[in-house]
Structure 1
Amino acid sequence: MNVLFECTYQGRRHIGLGLPAEGEPLRLVPLGDRDLKDLLLVGADLADLADLADEPATTVPAGELDAVSFRPPLLPDHPGGAMVGGFMQTHNVKVDADTPAQPNWFLKGLGDVLRISGEELRAPAGSVALTEEAEVVLVYVTDAAGEPRYAGYTFGNDLTDIGRFRRNRGHLSYAKLCDAAVAPWLFLGDPPSHVTGHVTIERDGEPCWRGEFTTGTKALHYGLDAIMSELFSHDALLTPGRVHYVYLGADRSSFHDGFRMADRDRVTLDFASHGVTLSNTVSCASPMLAAAAREGS
């Protein structure tokens, strides 16, 4: 698996290859004035990053890794240069008699709703019942001709106010207006067919819920090519240069097990099959959410 990432180190943009190993030095190549998404659009060979650099690679010692700030894959500097959205109820485990021929699509927001591991996930103060959603995230870059070009995939947590959606099925758009966690690693290959892992939720520093998940294209009720073709048939999405982060839907979550998330809970998603972990604290000072969590505990 070829994996590409972008980060900031000593005030400068850098790129690297591979999943960083904990406690190991990190090899980085200065990006300079280049735009990583543009390099991908022109088909640059990223297998050897040294060929892209005008100066030598940098090795960050293990003791200085705290000075490296990772970024969501291909995230533009301006929030309006990215759209974050996805599909709901796409998985086979959620299929029922009312399942539509094309899944509902939702918009979570622009690029500034993306959070990497360690950052807080914000939710509206009026949230009813939040839940995690461990998902595959596809990344597309729209070229100069308005053609969406698949760049690769990563993994994310589509934090959702499922309580609001259950209370009013017409409120999917509101239910999705929470931050989304995303891993900074861009996997340069076809979307994964099979992804497994587990979720751990901590409250006041102690584990309070744990569950497993299965996702990937084999878990989908829908054909991926068909739903993506339908999505990108709409000109309103095809502004040249725009980056799209498409969340593909989730397996069952803690909510389906009767668990109620509370403000300041820490949610850790371990995509064990692919060596990726996301851990974020939920920030939502909602009296409704706190009361629901107390009743469910």
Structure 2
Amino acid sequence: MRLIQFETPQGSRKVGKIRGWDIEVIPHASSVRELALAAIRTGEPLERHVHALGIEGHEDYRIVLSEGRVLPPLDHADHAHCLVSGSGLTHLGSASTRDSMHRGAGRRETGPSDAMRLFKSGMAGGRPAEGQAGIATGWFYKGDGAIVVRPGAAIPVPDFADDAGEEPELAGLYVIGDDGAPYRIGFAIGNEFADHGTEGKNYLYLAHSKLGYCSFGPELYVGALPATLIGMSRIRREGRVIWEREFISGQDHMSHSIENLEYHHFKYNQFLRPGDVHVHFFGAPALSFADGVHIQSGDTFEISIPEFGEPLTNAVTSSRPRVAMNGVAVL
């Protein structure tokens, strides 16, 4: 089952099931979060809960997409109660890229970089037996719900950024139940987006490079994740494809199991506040930055995985930070 959140032409929120180009509108539902919490309280799977609610109408998916009315497939009315984070070095493609980045700028490391060592440790210990914890991988914080850009909208790039690059990833979507336990709702295509230029100066700048906007969707994939997922990442400039690469993801092509990555995120009690929403990125298998592509304002990213429905598309646009140098007042 695939779900979307969208707005009507009048601005009200709706949730729908995707069937081809038809959106089957779910009655009395304005958010996936509400649907998930209701399913948790009744003790039934989300898909069964949604099917039991029936259909109250239909919308043309093509029109909703073309008019920019698709919302991220999971959100919270209060941005502060949506945490966006991620795990890195889970795919060989990103590990190789970061190995090269962390050796750059005249550094003289011999042997594997910290990035490659962490990736290899995941290959050895990132898939523990059921009920056991494996080795942890990199973790990063991106921001709260305010940094999520809806599918089809432009991703702002601040003028202080050294780079702006896509990161095509799987995103896990979660809600914390009334009992303080995390519940996985499903998965979505994600563009985690990062400033690889800043990270390339020094790997300790990775935390800076990850703070910024991102996007995921347009659809929420509910159900068991296929072990192999083959997708395509493209960049268009003035309507012309300037870069594209097929990528392979899914648990069979990752150094960690999904369950291990989830454990190492939700093992921290501060992430278990009832009602909160979590969006967690699982790592990128391919990056245009590795091929020397430099993004310009107006370029458009397109990331597609057939099992997840329609592609995730976002342009990029330049922006200015709200606080300038010496812009902090002293009380």
| AA of the residue aligned to 2:76 | P
Residue 142 of structure 1 is matched in structure 2 by 176
Residue 124 of structure 1 is matched in structure 2 by 158
**Which has the larger share of strand?**
1
| AA of the residue aligned to 1:58 | G
SS in 2 for 1:151: strand
- Taking the TM superposition and a 5 Å limit, the aligned residue runs for 1:86-105 are 86-93=86-93, 94=95, 96-99=116-119, 101-105=135-139
User: Following the alignment from structure 2 to structure 1, what is the Cα–Cα distance between the partners of residues 302 and 153?
Assistant: 12
Residue 284 of structure 2 is matched in structure 1 by 250
TM-score, normalised relative to structure 2: 0.76
Indicate yes or no: 2:230 matched with 1:210. no
Deviates more, 1:211-220 or 1:242-251: 211-220
Structure 2 CA distance for partners of 1:98 and 1:59, relative to 1, 3 Å? closer
Residue 18 of structure 1 is matched in structure 2 by 18
| AA of the residue aligned to 1:260 | H
Q: Deviations over 1:243-287 (max 9, x none)?
A: 11110001121111121112221111122354330111112258x
Structure 2 CA distance for partners of 1:196 and 1:50, relative to 1, 3 Å? closer
User: Following the alignment from structure 2 to structure 1, what is the Cα–Cα distance between the partners of residues 83 and 142?
Assistant: 8
User: Following the alignment from structure 2 to structure 1, what is the Cα–Cα distance between the partners of residues 254 and 273?
Assistant: 28
Which of 195, 215, 229 matches 1:161? 195
SS in 1 for 2:198: helix
Deviates more, 1:203-212 or 1:180-189: 203-212
User: Following the alignment from structure 1 to structure 2, what is the Cα–Cα distance between the partners of residues 68 and 267?
Assistant: 16
| AA of the residue aligned to 1:15 | V
| AA of the residue aligned to 1:78 | D
Indicate yes or no: 2:26 matched with 1:29. yes
Structure 2 CA distance for partners of 1:181 and 1:62, relative to 1, 3 Å? closer
| AA of the residue aligned to 2:92 | N
Q: Deviations over 1:103-130 (max 9, x none)?
A: 1111111112112321011222211122
Number of aligned positions between the proteins: 280
- Taking the TM superposition and a 5 Å limit, the aligned residue runs for 1:196-207 are 196-207=230-241
Residue 186 of structure 2 is matched in structure 1 by 152
| AA of the residue aligned to 2:53 | L
Aligned partners of 2:29 and 2:35 also within 8 Å: no
Q: Deviations over 1:170-220 (max 9, x none)?
A: 111110112111113221112332111222212233222122211111111
- Taking the TM superposition and a 5 Å limit, the aligned residue runs for 1:22-101 are 25-31=22-28, 35-42=34-41, 43-44=43-44, 46-47=47-48, 49=50, 51-52=52-53, 57-60=56-59, 65=64, 69-93=69-93, 94=95, 96-99=116-119, 101=135
- Taking the TM superposition and a 5 Å limit, the aligned residue runs for 1:173-252 are 173-252=207-286
Unaligned 5+ runs, structure 1: 287-297
User: Following the alignment from structure 1 to structure 2, what is the Cα–Cα distance between the partners of residues 62 and 152?
Assistant: 20
User: Following the alignment from structure 2 to structure 1, what is the Cα–Cα distance between the partners of residues 68 and 159?
Assistant: 32
User: Following the alignment from structure 1 to structure 2, what is the Cα–Cα distance between the partners of residues 117 and 64?
Assistant: 14
CA RMSD of aligned residues (A): 2.5
Shift of 1:33: 7.2
SS in 2 for 1:97: helix
